[in-house]
Structure 1
C-alpha cells in the first residue's frame, strides 16, 4: 500500500516531452519589431537599449501592445499569473495572437497556479499555445502535501520573470501578472519596477528561457493535469477567463493600453532608451533540483559586484534578510566609508510579516555600522497630492514595496527579481540585468534623496542604543519607539518567529 501511495505521488516520465527553442533570427528579424530593433541596435554596437518601466499602467500597456504587435513568437516566464483584470486582458490578447499564428510559450511556476488547471489546460490545447509548469505538484488541489513527500524539490521555485516578443524585445523585473502589480485594484497593491530591453541582452534572455523550458524541472501541463470533464476543450479558448470588460479597473487599463503610443514609439525609434553595456544575471535552471554549481548562480555574481563598491550603495528590496554573511559584507563596505542606504518594507507595509522576523534581528547591527535604514510607510495622506517624478517607481500610499534594485557607485544599476534573502540566494531561481549606466544608477540615488526620505521611516538608535523610527510629516518630525502602525499581536508574532531557526526558508 505504501509503495502504491508513493508511486501515485511521483511525477510522470519526461520521455515524451519535446524540446523547442527560440525561432532563428532569420525569421524574427523579418518582423516589424525585429527589423526596427536591428536597425537601432546596429547604431550602438555591443550595447543594449533599456527603458525603465516605472509607472504601473504603462508597464501593463507596454505588455499589451507588444503582444498586439507580435508576429512570430511570444515567450513568457512568470512566478505568478492571475486571471484577474489585468491577467484576463493580457491572456485574451495572447489568444488573439495565437489565433493569427504567433507561437506562444507560457512557463509558470506551479506554486501559484492552484485553481487554474482547467484554464491553463484549455490554453494548452490551442494549436499555437503551449503551457509548461516548473517543479509541478502531483497533488493538484492539496499542494501542501508535496512539501511532505518531496520537500527539497517542492521548496525550490522559479521566481524570475521574462516577457519576450519576436526574440527582439524583452521585459524583466519584479512585476508578476496580476492586478496588485499594476495598481489595478482598490485593495493591496505593490510598488514595483521593470526594465524593457532591446539588443544583445535579449539573446541572452532567449537562451535562458530555452534552458528553463527544456529543463528537467519543467513539465507540459497535460502530463500533470487531466480534465475531469471529457468534453472539456470544446468551448472557445477565449472563454477560459472571466469577462472583465465592464468594471472600472479593466476599462481604465484597456484605455491606457489603447491610448499608449509605446509600440509605435519603439518601432519608430522614438522611445527614450538608455544605451549601455547590459549583462543578464540568472540562475541555472538546475538550481530547481538543487544541482546548480555556485558559479552558475545569480547571487555570487551580484555579491561580487556589491563587494566592489567604493563610494556608494543604494539597495531597494521588499524582503531583507541579510544573514550573518551579508551583514559582514555590508559592515566591511561601511568600514571603507562606502555610503550605504537601504529601503525595505516596514512591518506595517509588508505582505509577509514572517519575513520581517528574519530581518528585524539584524537592524541594530547594521545601524551601529553606520548603514542607513529606511522602511516604507504604508499610509500618508499628504502623498496623495504629490506627483511622482518621471523615472521613479511609485511609492504610493497604501502600497507595499516589491521592487528590487541596486545602484553601485553611481555607475551600475541592477534590476531584477532577486530579493535579498536566503530564499532568493539558495532556493528560488532568479534573473535580472546589471546595467552599466551612470545616468540610471544616479536616478536611484536621487530617489532616496527626493522621495524615500519623505515616504519612509528612517531608523536610528537613541542614546540608550534602542531602535527609533523617525517620520517626517510636512512640518512635523514624529518619533516612535516600536514598529509604527502595527498591533501588539503582529509585533508579538514577529518576535516569536524570530526565535525559530527558519531564516534559510524565508
Structure 2
C-alpha cells in the first residue's frame, strides 16, 4: 500500500517533530484554492462504451454488471484498452502513480486520448507521485488535460520536510482508486498504478483484485469522483507544479517510446495482445455478473477534520455488508485490527461465526512496521476462535488447476508462476505480498476496494469500494480459503502452552518464519510504542 512510508511517519510521530514544535506552518502554507476553468466540459452525446453499457444494463434493470480482475497483466490491459476506447471523458483517481513502465505507458495513452479530443482529468494524491512533477506539469499544459493534486505538499523537494512542518495535515491521504471512461465503465479495487501491481516489474509483485463495472454503480463512481475533484483539498496543478510546455511533452512521448522499445517492456506489451480479456473486450463479449452493487466511500473532508463513525466508509461498510451469521473471510495485506476490530471479530467468532483472515506474514510484507501493529493481537483473536493465515516469502507447494482457478478469484492467483515442468510454485519470494482488500459475509456479500483493516484506513485516509450482493462471487472468494490458502500460506495456531505455532503443507515451525533475532527485537520494540493510530 506504500502509505505515508509508515516507518518514517511513526518516527516523526514518536519524536514529536511536528509543525507545532518548529512553528513552521506559515512557511508551508498552501495558496488559496481556485476553481478550474482550463478545460471545457465534453460535448454531450452517446459513445460506443456508453451505448454498449446501456444496452447490456437494460436487460438487468436496477443491477450493475461486475467482472473480477485478479490477474495483474489483465488489470493493466483493461485500463489500457479503456483509455484507447475513450471518446468523451477519462477520469482517473489514484493514491500512487509511478513513473515506471506501466505508469509511463498509461500516461502516454492518456496523452494520445487528449490529442484526439477526449477530456482527461487526473486526480492524484500528492504523496504518491515521486519524480513526476515535470511530466504532470507538461500534461496539465495540454488543452484537454487537467491535473489536480490532493492534499499537496507545498515544499516539493524533499517532500519529507513537509511532514516536519505540517504533519497533522499531510499525514492524512487520499487512498481511493478509480478509473472511469465515458462515465460508463469503471475500474475500482486495490491496485495503484505501477509495475509491481501489473506484473511488469523485476521486483516484488503485489497480489490484488479489481472490479470492472458497468451500469448504475459506474455512474455512482463518476459522481463520487466529481465530489473529490471539487473538494477543498483538490488543488489545480498549476498552483503547485512548475509551468512547463512543449519540450516536456515531447520528452514524455520520447520516454514512452523508449519504454516500448526496451526488451522487457516489449515482451510485456506483446503479452497484452494475446490475453483472452483483450479479445473479450474488443468483441464486446466480456462476461459480467449482474447484481446489486453499492458504492461506498469516505467524505473527502476526512483529510481536514474528524468524521463521525457512521459517516466513514467503515461505518457504511458495517451497514452495507451486515453482521455475518455463518462465516466471514477477510483478505488484507495490512491487517492491524486494533482494540475495536479485535473485539468485533472475536465477538463474531464466539457467537459461532466462522471467521478466517489472510494477511502478510513478516517475510512477505513490504511494510515491516505494519507487522508490529498486527502481531500483538494474534493470540487474542486465536483464543476467540478466529483462524489466521499468513503468507511467507518462500515456495509453499504445487496447487492443482482447480486451486489455481480459485486462487485467481481470491486475488492471489497472479502470484503463481509456471516452472519448466509445467507445475506451479505458489507465492514465491519476491512475489508473495498480498495487496488485495476483500471481505465476504455468509457467502452472499463481497466487499472489494481500497480499505485496509487498519486504523489508517479507518480514521486517516479516504477510501473507496464496492459491496457486491452476489452469492456466486462471494462464494468463489470464500471457497479459496478451503483450497488454495492452506497450500499458499501458514496457518497460525496456539499450542497447549499458549504459544504461537506456524503450520503449512510442507513444514511446521515454533518460530515465526522469516523473523530473525534483530527483526524480532525491532518489532517487539515498535509494538510497544504509542503509534498504532498511524498504522
**Greater Cα offset, 391-400 or 124-133:** 391-400
Partner of 1:361: 376
Report the TM-score when normalising by structure 2.
Answer: 0.88
- Kept in 1: contact 2:321–2:446 (CA 8 A): no
Q: What is the Cα deviation at residue 403 of structure 1?
A: 0.4
Partner of 1:397: 428
2:359 paired with 1:344: yes
Q: What is the Cα deviation at residue 15 of structure 1?
A: 3.1
Secondary structure (helix, strand or coil) at the match of 2:465 reads strand
Structure 2 distance, partners of 1:180, 1:272, is 26
Q: What is the Cα deviation at residue 221 of structure 1?
A: 1.4
Alignment of 1:239-278 (within 5 A): 239=254, 243-260=258-275, 262=277, 265-266=280-281, 268-278=283-293
Q: What is the Cα deviation at residue 325 of structure 1?
A: 1.2
Partner of 1:64: 80
Assess, with a 3 A threshold, how the Cα gap between structure 1 residues 277 and 454 changes in structure 2: closer, same or farther.
same
Once superposed, what is the RMSD of the aligned Cα atoms? 2.4
**Greater Cα offset, 388-397 or 436-445:** 388-397
Secondary structure (helix, strand or coil) at the match of 1:105 reads strand
Partner of 1:86: 102
Alignment of 1:169-318 (within 5 A): 169-227=185-243, 233=248, 235=250, 237-239=252-254, 243-260=258-275, 262=277, 265-266=280-281, 268-305=283-320, 308-318=323-333
Structure 1 distance, partners of 2:249, 2:268, is 30
Partner of 1:321: 336
Q: How many residue pairs are counted as aligned between the two chains?
A: 497
- Kept in 2: contact 1:88–1:242 (CA 8 A): no
Partner of 2:12: none
Q: What is the Cα deviation at residue 281 of structure 1?
A: 0.9
Secondary structure (helix, strand or coil) at the match of 2:258 reads coil
Partner of 2:530: 501
Report the TM-score when normalising by structure 1.
Answer: 0.93
Structure 2: gaps (5+ residues): 1-19, 416-426
Secondary structure (helix, strand or coil) at the match of 1:115 reads coil
Partner of 1:491: 520
Secondary structure (helix, strand or coil) at the match of 1:425 reads helix
Q: What is the Cα deviation at residue 497 of structure 1?
A: 0.3
Secondary structure (helix, strand or coil) at the match of 2:260 reads coil
Secondary structure (helix, strand or coil) at the match of 2:222 reads helix
Assess, with a 3 A threshold, how the Cα gap between structure 1 residues 264 and 234 changes in structure 2: closer, same or farther.
closer
Structure 2 distance, partners of 1:199, 1:263, is 21
Q: What is the Cα deviation at residue 266 of structure 1?
A: 4.1
Q: Among residues 380, 392, 400, which one is paired with 1:377 in the alignment?
A: 392
**Greater Cα offset, 386-395 or 214-223:** 386-395
2:37 paired with 1:33: no
Alignment of 1:12-161 (within 5 A): 12-18=31-37, 26-27=44-45, 30-161=46-177
Structure 1: gaps (5+ residues): none
